[in-house]
Amino acid sequence: MPINFGLTLVLLLAMAAPSVPAGVQSNSTITGKITDLIGNSMDSAVEDLPPANDTEMSSIDGVVINEVELNPRDTDAGREWIELYNPSGADVNVSDFKIETSLKSATIQLPQGAMIEANETYMVDLDGQVLSNTAESLVLENGLGEVIDRTPSLVDRSDDGRTWQRIPDGYNQWQFAEGTKEELNDPDEHSSVTRNARSGSAECQGTAGCAEGIVTRIVDGDTIYVMVNGTTYRVDLALASAPSRTEDDYAESTSFARNLCLGSNVLVDQDDDQLTSLTSIIAVVYCESTSLNSELLDSGHATLDMDQCETSEFAGQRWARDHGC
């Protein structure tokens, strides 16, 4: 039976609703936006979901991990940091809180007497190099050992001033934007540096799933990982074939894709005629409203997969025809 990417996402959201990690916006606050995120005849499925409440936040202690600097410019040692945020109207004592890292299994204990004022941030500057630049996930625990917040898997290979941050502060949407150390994350202030796939001419095609997400990993030029509403999907680019790790020009092709899409909000349009599995799809990916598929072909960093010209929904698009379909 063909898998509908959009329907799968809706079902995943509905199934996950009872077990939202503390400190993370519950799924009921997201479902009201499903029609903006997932296209193609999903109205009946959305009607059965709870109403949206854009101000709802669920956190035992009110404190969340708000911003993370995994890979500062130049050396990482002694320059990594984590920002916590207190969205409540009361000061919170976090002296017995700790942050656990995933890859290096480090424990970061907050100092005695540490307080976060109401609606303010708290900086945790790290000694040495504690965080990984690849697939790092952080967990915040209170003094009872209860998990009150956790980040998605974060990737930062950019070696610059950009950070992973919740925009706006405390909400479930993570974006890769210019760092705001010791400042609140203002989405309007960063609109020029935060990539948004919904601007411009990117549109969903066909009847298979279509969703917005964040690119968390670039394997090579034509294989990326995109997180959509907490679920990570492997996305193979339709019609584009880029060099693998053992082939010439792999580094150049991969770097091109990373510079264009890593950390950005993207629109993923699944190929109607090439359905794969629940977490692996073939699609066209729009970064800043630009098709990564066509950009790789136009720049010479990928070649046309002629076999897919007979099977892909996108074979008739102009960029595909221009390259030989």
Q: What percent of the chain has pLDDT over 90?
A: 37
Structure tokens at 293: 């598929």
CATH of the domain at 283: 2.40.50.90
Task: Write the DSSP string, 48-117.
Answer: TSPPP-TT----SSS-EEEEEESS-SS--TTT-EEEEE--SSS-EE-TT-EEEESSS--EEEPPTT-EE-
Mean pLDDT score, 232-238: 94
Q: Contact 193/1 with Cβ under 8 angstroms?
A: no
287 Cα distance to chain centroid: 13
Task: Write the DSSP string, 55-67.
Answer: T----SSS-EEEE
CATH of the domain at 78: 2.60.40.1260
- Whether residue 58 is contained in a domain is answered as no
Lowest mean pLDDT among 44-48, 72-76, 200-204, 279-283: 44-48
Q: Are residues 214 and 170 in the same domain?
A: no
Query: Which residues sit opposite 212 in a β-bridge?
Result: 267
Burial class (CB in 10 A: 0-12, 13-18, 19+), 145: exposed
- Whether residue 89 is contained in a domain is answered as yes
Find the domain containing 13 and state its range.
5-47
Mean pLDDT score, 198-220: 76
φ/ψ (deg, to 5) at 297 = -70, -45
Q: Are residues 81 and 29 in the same domain?
A: no
Q: What is the pLDDT of residue 203?
A: 72
Mean pLDDT score, 124-133: 90
φ/ψ (deg, to 5) at 44 = -65, -35
Q: Are residues 114 and 220 in the same domain?
A: no
Q: Are residues 34 and 96 in the same domain?
A: no
- Whether residue 183 is contained in a domain is answered as no
Q: What is the pLDDT of residue 187?
A: 52
Q: What is the pLDDT of residue 202?
A: 67
Mean pLDDT score, 295-306: 95
Q: What percent of the chain has pLDDT over 70?
A: 76
Q: What is the pLDDT of residue 316?
A: 92
- Closest-CA residue to 213 (of 27, 38, 17): 38
Is 15 or 225 the better-scoring residue by pLDDT?
Answer: 225
Cis peptide before 72 (omega within 30 of 0): no
Quick check: helix, strand or coil at residue 152? coil
Q: What is the pLDDT of residue 263?
A: 79
Check pLDDT > 80 for residue 28.
no
Q: Are residues 226 and 141 in the same domain?
A: no
Q: Are residues 174 and 79 in the same domain?
A: yes
Q: Is the dihedral of CA 270, 229, 8, 50 positive or negative?
A: negative
Q: Are residues 165 and 86 in the same domain?
A: yes
- Whether residue 131 is contained in a domain is answered as yes
- Whether residue 200 is contained in a domain is answered as no
| CA 316 – CA 62 distance, rounded (Å) | 51
How do residues 251-275 score in pLDDT, each as one tens digit?
A: 999 989 988 888 778 899 999 988 7
Q: What is the pLDDT of residue 238?
A: 96
Query: How many structural domains compose the chain?
Result: 3
Is 218 or 8 the better-scoring residue by pLDDT?
Answer: 218
Report which listed range, 8-12, 15-19, 33-37, 188-192, is most confident. 188-192
Question: Any idea which residue has 């959305």 for tokens?
Answer: 46
- Whether residue 186 is contained in a domain is answered as no
Q: What is the pLDDT of residue 232?
A: 87
Q: Are residues 37 and 81 in the same domain?
A: no
How do residues 86-122 score in pLDDT, each as one tens digit?
A: 987 789 999 999 999 987 788 999 999 999 988 889 9
Q: Where are the beta strands (DSSP E) in 154-230?
A: 162-166, 174-178, 210-220, 223-228
Question: Any idea which residue has 């209170």 for tokens?
Answer: 142
Quick check: helix, strand or coil at residue 191? coil
How do residues 136-180 score in pLDDT, each as one tens digit?
A: 889 999 989 988 898 888 888 888 899 999 888 887 778 888 898
Q: What is the pLDDT of residue 87?
A: 84
- Closest-CA residue to 264 (of 177, 179, 178): 177
- Whether residue 168 is contained in a domain is answered as yes
Q: Are residues 102 and 134 in the same domain?
A: yes
Q: What is the dihedral of CA 231, 279, 35, 52, to 10 degrees?
A: -30
Query: Which residues sit opposite 211 in a β-bridge?
Result: 268
Q: Are residues 71 and 21 in the same domain?
A: no
* 15 sits in which H/E element: helix 5-16
Q: Contact 220/246 with Cβ under 8 angstroms?
A: no
- Whether residue 191 is contained in a domain is answered as no
Average pLDDT taken over every residue of the chain: 76
How do residues 194-207 score in pLDDT, each as one tens digit?
A: 333 333 456 787 77
- DSSP structural state of residue 251: H
Q: Are residues 316 and 238 in the same domain?
A: yes
Quick check: helix, strand or coil at residue 261? helix
From 161, 178, 195, the end of a domain falls on 178
φ/ψ (deg, to 5) at 82 = -130, 135
How do residues 44-53 score in pLDDT, each as one tens digit?
A: 222 222 222 3
